[in-house]
Amino acid sequence: MNEQRQNQYLVLPDNGQRKDTKLAVEYSEEQIADYMKLGYVIVNQADFNKLIGNADGEYLIADDGSVYPKPAPTDAELLPAAKQKKLAEVTQWTAANITGGFVSSASGEPVRYDSDVDTQLTMQGIALNVGTPLFAEKYPDGCPVRGVAEGKDSKAVYLLSPQQVMQWMADLSMHIGSCKQAGWQKQAEVNACKTVAEVDAIKL
């Protein structure tokens, strides 16, 4: 066999059609030269696919150049991609839940606060200083945090004491932990799926 001719075909054209096809790797350079004298041309695999209208890989090509319709992918073949797509959706869903707000009763009543990354970082920085003179100087009446109380439609400002700030942070941490656990549960459900239909049935 001529290893230099891997993925190449000897094609005999006939009025724009393919009259005959041979796998070039099965012939020596001398034999290939003889075929070319008979009108055969060397075509690489990419050009051969274009020649037979298979540029998108819709058909299967046998070693002798015969073309067959490609069978529809099986459920087992589709399952890994379906799982990967759903797992990516779970990751986005988990992140959205974490940053989508949470409820804390740090002020003495249930209030829904923001939990976006900027708010998390800001409150973490404030919590590090609740026991310092700086906190007392900057927030003599308490740290202002905006949130929406239960039954209300608009945000109000809540002044949180040092202890209330720490409770706020504890509630935020519990919220983040709960969201992550819910995400892990969804990931486990996806990984346990045996069919694409089972994957598609998982709701977020």
Q: What does the pLDDT look like over 167-195, one tens digit per residue? A: 999 999 999 999 999 999 999 999 999 99
- In this structure, the dihedral spanned by the alpha carbons of residues 152, 156, 161 and 162, taken in order and rounded to 10 degrees, is 100
Residue type, 145: V
Q: Is the pLDDT of residue 5 over 60?
A: yes
- Tell me the pLDDT of the chain averaged across its residues: 89
Residue type, 95: A
Among the ranges 28-32, 45-49, 147-151, which has the highest mean pLDDT value?
Answer: 147-151
Q: Is the pLDDT of residue 52 over 90?
A: no
d(CA 126, CA 107): 16
Helices (H), the chain: 29-37, 45-51, 75-99, 117-127, 133-138, 162-192, 196-201
Which residue's structure tokens are 């055969």?
Answer: 40
Q: Which residue has the higher pLDDT, 132 or 74?
A: 132
- pLDDT the model gives residue 8: 86
Are 27 and 2 in contact by the 8 Å Cβ rule? The answer is yes
| CA-based nearest residue to 24, from 42, 49, 48 | 42
β-strands 102-104, 59-61: how paired? unpaired
